[in-house]
Structure 1
Amino acid sequence: LANHQVVLGRYEFTLWDSLPKFEDSLQERNRKEFKVLVEEGLVAAKASRQAALDAVDTAARSMASAVSMRQASWLLLSGLSSEA
C-alpha cells in the first residue's frame, strides 16, 4: 500500500509540474493566481510523496526488526549460541 502511495505521489507531482505550460493561455490578471496555485500544489505533492516514502522506510525497518527479534528468540529458546 505504501509503495502505491509513493507512485501516486510521484504521479501527482508530475501532474502539477506539467501545469505551467498552460500559464500563457490565461489572461494576465489570472496568471499570478495560477502560478501561486501551481507552486502550492507542487509543495503539497512533494510533502505527500515524502510522507509515503517515510512510511515505506518505517515499514521496512519494522519488518527487519521483527525478523531480527524472531531470530534472537529462536536462538535463545533453542539453546544455541548466537556467537557461532
Structure 2
Amino acid sequence: MAISAFVFVDVIGDHTKSAFKTITRLPGVKNLYSVTGPYDLIVDIEADTLEELDESVLSQIRSVDGVRKTTTSVILKR
C-alpha cells in the first residue's frame, strides 16, 4: 500500500509560478494546489515507502528554486 502525504510549501517572493511548474513534474505528485494562507502550495504526494517519501520531500521538493521551507503531514487514514 502506498504512503500518501500533503506537503505544505512556503515559497520565496515571486517564485510561486516557477515552483508550481517544477513540482508538478516530480515523480509521485498526484495533485498540486496554489492556495491562500500561511503556505503558497500544497502538494498531494504518494510514495511506495517512507524512504521514497523522504527522498521526494528532502531531495526533490526542497531543492526547487524558490522553496523556503516545507511541512509534511503523512495521511494516516482515508
- Taking structure 2 as the reference length, the TM-score comes to 0.32
Choose between structure 1 and 2: higher helix proportion: 1
Structure with higher Rg: it is: 1
